Amino acid sequence: MDIDTPKLISLNERVTMSAEAIYWNKGISFKHPTITGAITITDENLPQDTVTKTITLEIDGDFAITFPAYYVWKGGTYDGTVMNRIVIDCVNGISGSEEVYYTIIPNA
């Protein structure tokens, strides 16, 4: 496969999120089953240079979610009684100067 050929992503990779990790290289929309305890979101394979990428998480569960310190909250409050959509935008994945923004949309 040459560098210009897009990688085909399996449906499982696009819809399944690890318990806590966001795999930026696998897809754009992830659904996690109901969380069963407090979680801390982590990143793997942040986009490099000034690449912009948006990922959407669909999760529910009445437990706390902690985001990395460099994530900037742009609104919304997590509601553990409904399905929540969390939209995460990475606009600069350079290590040490990440610009990542998130918005929480409850009852999505």
Predicted model pTM: 0.71
Please name every residue paired with 86 in a beta bridge, in sequence order, or none if there are none.
57, 104
> Is there a contact between 105 and 77 (Cβ–Cβ < 8 Å)?
no
What element of type H or E holds 31? strand 29-31
Q: Which CATH fold would you assign to the domain 11-106?
A: Jelly Rolls (2.60.120)
pLDDT at 103 over 90: yes
Query: pLDDT higher for 23 or 71?
Result: 71
- Per residue in 51-91, pLDDT tens? 778 888 888 888 888 888 888 999 999 998 998 898 988 88
Q: Would you kindly state where each structural domain of the chain is located, as residue ranges?
A: 11-106
Question: Which amino acid is located at 22 in the chain?
Answer: I
What element of type H or E holds 11? helix 11-15
